Chain A
Amino acid sequence: MKCTFVVYRFDPAVDKEPRYQEYTVEAEPTDKILDCLNKIRWDQDPTLSYRYSCAHGICGSDALMINGRIELACQKLVRDFKTANNFVIEPLPLFRVIKDLIVDMEPFFEKHRQVRPYLISDEAPPETERLQDAANQGSFEPALRCILCGSCTASCPISRTNENYLGPAALLRAFRYLADSRDTDTVSRLAQLNNEDGAWGCKTMWWCTDVCPKDIPITKSIGQIKRLIKEEEKKKTAGS
């Protein structure tokens, strides 16, 4: 069947302003949106640029806007949309557009690095594995689904108004290490997040959770960080 794709185009070498270009694609209902973009690029217009790799929702390359909503192009099929086979494809919001659907993700990864995204432990590991309660591992298991696609942070209204806000993806990663019983850096991690650029920047608007292609309860995870901060403050008050 015929599908119409209106695609955001911007080539910094040629265009002063972004423009929209229309393509007609012959597609099956089971085709991924990524398949349709590939058909445009391979058969009609090789100059169209976008990122992609695994094509089944695990590498996190191809988050973009489909009909005004943030999605992974490889995880949505033509049949998933009730828009009479009309599609508008745009780059992720929030980030600077480099070319067409490709955005500059460096600020996103900079926030990721800021939360010290690695296990910090002041205990020397044993010869074999450290023991960990299965329930503890399970408590942050949803956070492990994150593929760093940037959808949540791109959707976040706070990230748009405060450029220093860590944003949902980085906070989720912070939560993953805070919740991990093997990590002993809890106090300084919580101190880093105890401000408006950290966990308190989140105003519980649920956009991140709503757009997450891996169904991660991001807002709840940030809520857990807030709870841990409060518990830590109580401990301090009780101790003083």
Chain B
Amino acid sequence: MNHQFDVVIVGAGLAGLRAAIELGENASVAVLSKVFATRSHSGAAQGGIGAALGNEEEDNWEWHMFDTVKGSDYLGDQDAIEILAQDAPRTIYELEHLGVPFNRTPEGKIAQRAFGGHTRNFGEAPVKRACYAADRTGRVILDTLWENCLQRGIRFFDEFQLMSLIIHDGQCCGLIAYELATGKLHTLQSKAVLLATGGYGKVFKTTSNAFASTGDGLAIAFRAGAPLEDMEFVQFHPTGIYKLGILISEAARGEGGILRNNEGERFMERYAPVIKDLAPRDMVSRCILEEIRAGRGIDGKDYVHLDLTHLGKEVLDTKLAEISGFARTYAGVDPVQEPIPVQPTCHYMMGGIATDADGRVITDSENTPFPGLYAAGECACVSVHGANRLGCNSLLDILVFGRRAGKEMHRFISTVGSINLPPSPEKVVADQITALLQSNGKENVGSIRAEMQEVMMDKVSVFRHKEGLEEALGKVRELKGRYRQISVQDKGNCFNRELLDAIELGYMLDLAEVIALGALSREESRGAHSREDFPNRDDEKWLVHTMFRHSTDEGPQVFFKPVTITRFEPKERKY
């Protein structure tokens, strides 16, 4: 089936929906999502969204900018971070006007709370900057934006899987999608495509991410010639529930929660004397693992305690209700009475499809745009998070840059005349599906996926070193070879989940290879990338973005792009 739109957006999380709202009244827009829109993973965001409103105490956007630069370990592009921090208050007011039900102060203003790495006056003390709706901030923003899209009559293709981009004469002019309910292929022709497909935490074994977070958009853009940027930077959130990886929001520490080792010691005081438990995530995750390595994990095991017992039932019931429920349901622990067992969990990908600050996908280190192709949200790398993202900057990023991508696409589509598609653009995809369904290969999707997740977790997570990374890269490449021999037993065309698992696994293997390759190449420690064999940051050699270009024959090719530094010269990062 064929459809025509001005713009097709892939992904119905906050980046995609914000772009859709920007375009809704001025262009024909379709939003395509492999899960029903409100199931998008933005809805799992808990703690808050950062903006220097100063509603609770003095704050200003330059402090926010500085914290984000420092949090990024100076790898974030400062021109983009300036946009992020400066545009944050407007973004929050806009959300409020659209109907987002934020918690309120006694004066009726939007309430704010402390979050990791956010400080007053360039690092003096924690500041209350995170706007929130209890600990379901992402959920209520997602609902509000989705409902605004319904009001605007935006067309949704729910439960459609992106299969490939249509590139003709170097320009992106649509995509091919697979309808889960029927197995039919659809051609969506458009003047512009926005990829807003989110993260890919499922590459790792322990993650806070949803099953849908498999990085489809990145891998497809990569194969179509778009470079990926800074892929070695993977955020492990310090407080996932032990063994399960389910997220316990940083808001728990923002509200006063304390991490303790087996001696009951508040160990973060030793590592970050000024902001303690509210140090940035890369640091806290490393500190937890250092404590465990030193034999101070709880009961000699690989977890520590997150103590919320002193916060009292009232705070837990009103401001941290979801995570209290998670602790009760999944860990069997009542946080009012007992500490929660936690360990780092793969949470967020700083790397992504390289874009400029208007969502244009770029093709080289000179920022040459890829005509018609845009990316925003976790799948994109602007880069505002550099080597480590601060908590509550993700929701902000995806809304600020989702809107800017929407604006830029609106401008762009007015410059494009009629679009010509190549003949039978869906044929390659149809052949790929037929081949998968007819294959009688011996390999199994589940075991390849499990082996990939295992080796990535063991060798490419918080602490990394050369031998481990080489082993991981070798293993992933071996798995890519075995992947060619997979077969799919379900031959049906109605919600054939096995077929989609197989397709997603192909994407994840591509991304795992790039992550491991990037981690191996970068011989320094910066932000979330911690090399035990290169423990220091090396600004002379490595204050650069790593870029990866796809090559079918030779594997991913690495090149570099300079970091934009405007206001803040790199300094040692202490908290």
Residues of A within 8 A of B (CB): 11-13, 30, 32, 41-43, 46-47, 49-61, 75, 77, 98-100, 102, 105, 113, 116-119, 125, 127-134, 137-138, 140-141, 144-145, 147-148, 176, 180, 182-183
Contacts and interface: CB of A to CB of B under 8 A. Distances in A.
Contacts of A148: 38
Given A46-B488, A118-B147, 18 more contacts: A30-B330, A46-B497, A49-B496, A54-B41, A54-B43, A55-B210, A59-B41, A59-B44, A61-B36, A99-B494, A113-B150, A128-B89, A129-B102, A129-B109, A131-B109, A133-B108, A140-B101, A145-B136
A78 B147 CA distance: 36
A137 B211 contact: no
B211 A117 contact: no
Interface string B312-354: 0000001001100110011010000000000000000000000
Contacts of A133: 104, 108
A125 B136 CA distance: 24
Nearest to B105: A134
Nearest to B326: A56
Contacts of B134: 141, 144
Interface stretch (B90-98, B271-279, B419-427): B90-98
B441 interface: no
Contacts of A129: 92-93, 96-97, 102, 109-110
B375 interface: no
A182 to B, nearest CB: 7
B133 A59 contact: no
B555 interface: no
A166 to B, nearest CB: 16
A59 B39 contact: yes
A235 B96 CA distance: 30
Across the A-B interface, give the 7 residue pairs with the lowest CB-CB distance, nearest first: A119-B99, A131-B108, A46-B498, A134-B104, A49-B495, A42-B446, A59-B39
B298 interface: no
B495 A102 contact: yes
A132 B106 CA distance: 9
A136 B109 CA distance: 12
Contacts of B265: none
B170 interface: no
Contacts of B318: 138
A134 B493 contact: no
5 contacts: A30-B330, A46-B498, A77-B330, A129-B96, A140-B101
Contacts of A182: 99
Interface size range of chain B in the complex: 35 or more
Interface string B23-66: 00000000000011011110110000000010000000000000
SS of A interface (majority): loop
A112 B35 CA distance: 18
Contacts of B150: 113, 117-118
B434 to A, nearest CB: 17
B449 to A, nearest CB: 9
Contacts of B490: 46-47
Interface string B481-508: 0000000111011111110000000000
Interface of B: 35-36, 38-41, 43-44, 53, 89, 92-93, 96-99, 101-111, 133-134, 136, 139-140, 143-144, 147-148, 150-151, 181, 210-212, 246, 318, 321-322, 325-326, 329-330, 332, 446, 488-490, 492-498
A64 to B, nearest CB: 14
Contact of A134 (B89, B108, B322): B108
B489 to A, nearest CB: 5
Contacts of B139: 58, 144, 147
B494 A13 contact: yes
B211 A52 contact: yes
A170 to B, nearest CB: 12
A146 to B, nearest CB: 8
Contacts of B181: 98
B286 to A, nearest CB: 25
A130 B107 CA distance: 11
A49 B44 contact: no
A71 to B, nearest CB: 12
Contacts of B43: 54, 58-59, 147
Contacts of B147: 117-118
A13 B493 contact: yes
A41 B92 contact: no
A144 B133 contact: yes
A112 to B, nearest CB: 8
Given A47-B489, A130-B96, A144-B101, A118 B109 contact: no
A75 B104 contact: no
B435 to A, nearest CB: 17
